[in-house]
Amino acid sequence: MSTIESNQGTLSAFDKATNTVCIGNTELGATLYAGNASKKWCIGYVIALVTDAVLRHFSNKHQHDPVALNCFYMHKTSVGPFVISIETLKSSKKGYCLVQASLLQKENEPTLTSADQFNSVGYKEKVHVIFTMGNLDSEEGVSFMHEPYQAPNKSAMTPFNHVYMGNFIGGHVDRSTMGKDYLSMGKPEFHQALHFRDGRDIDFKCIPYFCDFFVTPPMLLGWDYLGGPVWCPTMQLEVLFKRRPTGKEVLTSIVAPHIINGRFDCSGGIWDSEGNLFALTRHQCLVVPWARNSKGEKPKPRF
Q: What is the mean pLDDT of residues 59-86?
A: 97
Predicted confidence (pLDDT) at residue 9 exceeds the cutoff of 60: no
pLDDT, residue 298, reads 74
Q: What is the mean pLDDT of residues 178-190?
A: 95
Q: Report if residue 142 sits inside a domain.
A: no
Q: Report if residue 146 sits inside a domain.
A: no
pLDDT, residue 4, reads 39
pLDDT, residue 143, reads 94
Tens digit of pLDDT for each residue in 252-276? 999 999 999 999 999 999 999 999 9
pLDDT, residue 294, reads 63
Q: How many domains does the chain have?
A: 2
pLDDT band of 296, cuts 50, 70, 90? low
Phi and psi angles of residue 225, each rounded to the nearest 5 degrees, phi first: -70, -40
Does 187 share its domain with 284? yes
Contacts of 186 by beta carbon, 8 Å cutoff, 6+ apart: 177, 178, 179, 220, 221, 222
Q: How far is CA 93 from CA 62, 64, 70, 73, 280, in A?
A: 7, 12, 23, 31, 27
The percent of residues in the chain predicted with pLDDT above 90, rounded, is: 89
Scored b (16 or more CB within 10 A) or e, 11-40 reads: ebbbbbbbbbbbbbeeeeebbbbbbbbbee
Q: What is the mean pLDDT of residues 111-133?
A: 97
pLDDT, residue 7, reads 41
Does 128 share its domain with 158? no
Q: Say if residue 241 is exposed, middle or buried (CB neighbours under 10 Å; 0-12, 13-18, 19+).
A: buried
Q: What is the mean pLDDT of the chain?
A: 94
Least reliable range by pLDDT among 43-52, 63-72, 167-176, 286-295:
286-295
**Residue 153: how many CB atoms within 10 A of its CB?**
13
Q: Report if residue 51 sits inside a domain.
A: yes
Contacts of 5 by beta carbon, 8 Å cutoff, 6+ apart: none
Q: Report if residue 145 sits inside a domain.
A: no
Does 198 share its domain with 275? yes
pLDDT, residue 297, reads 73
**Residue 235 maps to which CATH number?**
3.10.129.10
pLDDT, residue 42, reads 84
Predicted confidence (pLDDT) at residue 199 exceeds the cutoff of 50: yes
Domain termination residue (choose one: 81, 105, 136): 136
Q: Report if residue 43 sits inside a domain.
A: yes
Does pTM top 0.85 for this prediction? yes
The percent of residues in the chain predicted with pLDDT above 70, rounded, is: 96
The single-letter code of the amino acid at 134 is G
pLDDT band of 3, cuts 50, 70, 90? very low
Does 130 share its domain with 61? yes
For residue 61, the enclosing domain spans 3-136
Tens digit of pLDDT for each residue in 36-69? 999 999 888 999 999 999 999 999 999 999 999 9
CB 34 within 8 Å of CB 4: yes
Q: Report if residue 301 sits inside a domain.
A: no
Q: Report if residue 46 sits inside a domain.
A: yes
Q: Report if residue 270 sits inside a domain.
A: yes
pLDDT, residue 215, reads 93
Predicted confidence (pLDDT) at residue 22 exceeds the cutoff of 70: yes
The single-letter code of the amino acid at 71 is C
Does 166 share its domain with 37? no
Predicted confidence (pLDDT) at residue 195 exceeds the cutoff of 90: yes
The single-letter code of the amino acid at 3 is T
